[in-house]
Amino acid sequence: AAFISIQAFPALLDLPQELEVSTVSCGSRHTAAVTRGGELYTWGWGKYGQLGHGNNVSSDQARRVEYLVAKGLHVEDVVCGPWTTYVRV
């Protein structure tokens, strides 16, 4: 099982330099960020598939949700629930 560090306080996150984040939402153990370009990045605990990567893998690194890119969808907003992620495209 992957170890995922849980941060009780805000922490810096490394994203590729060219990305500008417009919206961030935090669930109970995961986080999602929308870029100004309309892409969704998620990280944290993924046991219930709430990261949107098509699996139940957790990740300490922000990863782009490729499914939305492949479908040509532009993300406008995101809201994380306890074990869910809601995305408006």
Q: Could you give the CA distance from residue 67 to residue 76 in angstroms, rounded to a whole number? A: 15
Half-sphere exposure of 77 (CA within 13 A, CB side): 2
pLDDT of residue 5: 65
What are the residue ranges of helices labelled H in 1-89? 66-70
| Position 87 confidence tier, pLDDT thresholds 50, 70, 90 | very high
pTM, 2 dp: 0.88
Tokens of residue 62, six digits:
């922000």
Q: Where are the domains of the chain?
A: 21-88
The predicted model gives 41-64 an average pLDDT of 93
Tell me, rounded to whole angstroms, the distance of Cα 16 from its chain centroid: 14
Q: What confidence tens digit (pLDDT) does each residue in 27-52 have?
A: 988 999 999 999 999 999 999 999 99
